[in-house]
Amino acid sequence: MIKKIVFLFLTLVLSSCTSLKYSVNSSKYKSKSYNERVRFVILHYTALNDERSITALTKNNVSSHYLVTQERYDSVYSLVPDTQRAWHAGTSSFDGYKNLNDNSIGIEISNLGYSSASKQKTANLKEGIVDTTMFYPYNDAQVFKIGMLLKELTAKYKINPKYILGHSDIAPTRKFDPGPKFPWKHLYDHYGVGAWFEKKDFNAFYSQDLFNSYSAKDLKDELRKYGYDINSTDNWDLQSKKVVSAFQMHFRPRKVDGVFDLETFAIIKALNKKYK
């Protein structure tokens, strides 16, 4: 009798379970507490030609979300979905964020990088002294495609202008790409993407007396305020010089020497005023 009751009970339980239906309703309620995975867009050069760039980014242990080749009529190649993590940034940091593969979109650009023909100039790179003439330019078709892609990504993910960066900005002690010939100002002026300083603010901060009132630590604090990962010592060691060089490649490419001079001071102050 007891066995019969247990059997009937289990039968009722199982039948009630099978009558339930499983579904996920993704339209009835929506939370307002979320943000996009994508916070940064990081630009690189491949240091390779088109063919080798494609091979490197599709068959090796490195990847990017997009590739812009040198071929004028090529499309921009989407290699990894935006929602997935590509391996392009490596050890990196900016504005308190670390390991930026997790929250960035990587754009690789087919470009040979720099010529190592001069041993002295190559040696100088390791000291944070960058000779612009060593680097290869980007062609006009590439610049157009990059500008349009950045406009699209900025609008889609609401990217903070100062979070459109070069690999050298997020890994200044080991990377130079996209190099001093990358057209940051042109992209800002003609496509409205990325960050740039206002001339009137630059002029207001271009004061030798004001500059002289800042200690090395104060100057480093300005770079850190903008987002650069720099130590807080009172001396300009090699790591600090390389951070200054990365900043100069982005915002003053005509002279990249790792020296935090008056012009560099006026630029970073103007940027920090604009992008608080």
114-170: pLDDT as tens digits? 998 788 999 999 899 999 999 999 999 999 999 999 999 999 999 999 999 999 999
Where do you find CATH 1.10.101.10 in the chain?
199-274
CA 168/CA 78 separation, integer angstroms:
23
Torsion of CA 256, 258, 264, 267, to 10 degrees: 70
Report the catalytic residues. 108
**Phi and psi, residue 98, nearest 5°:** -125, 160
- Whether pLDDT at 18 is above 80: no
- Whether pLDDT at 2 is above 70: no
pLDDT value, residue 12: 53
CATH architecture of the domain formed by 40-191: 3-Layer(aba) Sandwich (3.40)
pLDDT value, residue 119: 87
Q: Write out the H or E segment, with its range, that includes residue 119.
A: helix 119-125
- Cis, peptide link before residue 183, omega less than 30° from 0: no
- Edge-to-edge strand list for the sheet holding 104-109: 77-78, 66-68, 104-109, 40-45, 164-166
- Whether pLDDT at 26 is above 90: no
Where do you find CATH 3.40.80.10 in the chain?
40-191
Q: Per-residue pLDDT averaged across 5-17, rounded? A: 55
Q: Residue 6 contacts by C-beta under 8 Å, 6 or more apart in sequence? A: none
Strands (E), the chain: 40-45, 66-68, 77-78, 93-94, 97-98, 104-109, 164-166
Provide the b/e sequence for 258-267 (b: ≥16 CB within 10 Å): bebeebbbbb
pLDDT value, residue 133: 95
Torsion of CA 259, 262, 263, 268, to 10 degrees: 90
Q: Residue 220 contacts by C-beta under 8 Å, 6 or more apart in sequence? A: 230, 231, 232, 233, 240
pTM of the shown model? 0.90
Any idea what the Cα angle at residue 48 is, between residues 47 and 53, rounded to 5°?
Answer: 120
CA 89/CA 74 separation, integer angstroms:
25
CA 181/CA 233 separation, integer angstroms:
31
State what percent of residues in the chain have pLDDT above 90. Answer: 83
Q: Which CATH superfamily is domain 199-274 in?
A: PGBD-like superfamily/PGBD (1.10.101.10)
pLDDT value, residue 117: 79
CA 14/CA 120 separation, integer angstroms:
80
pLDDT tier at 16, thresholds 50, 70, 90: low
User: Can you state the angle between helices 140-157 and 184-191, rounded to 10 degrees?
Assistant: 60
pLDDT value, residue 23: 86
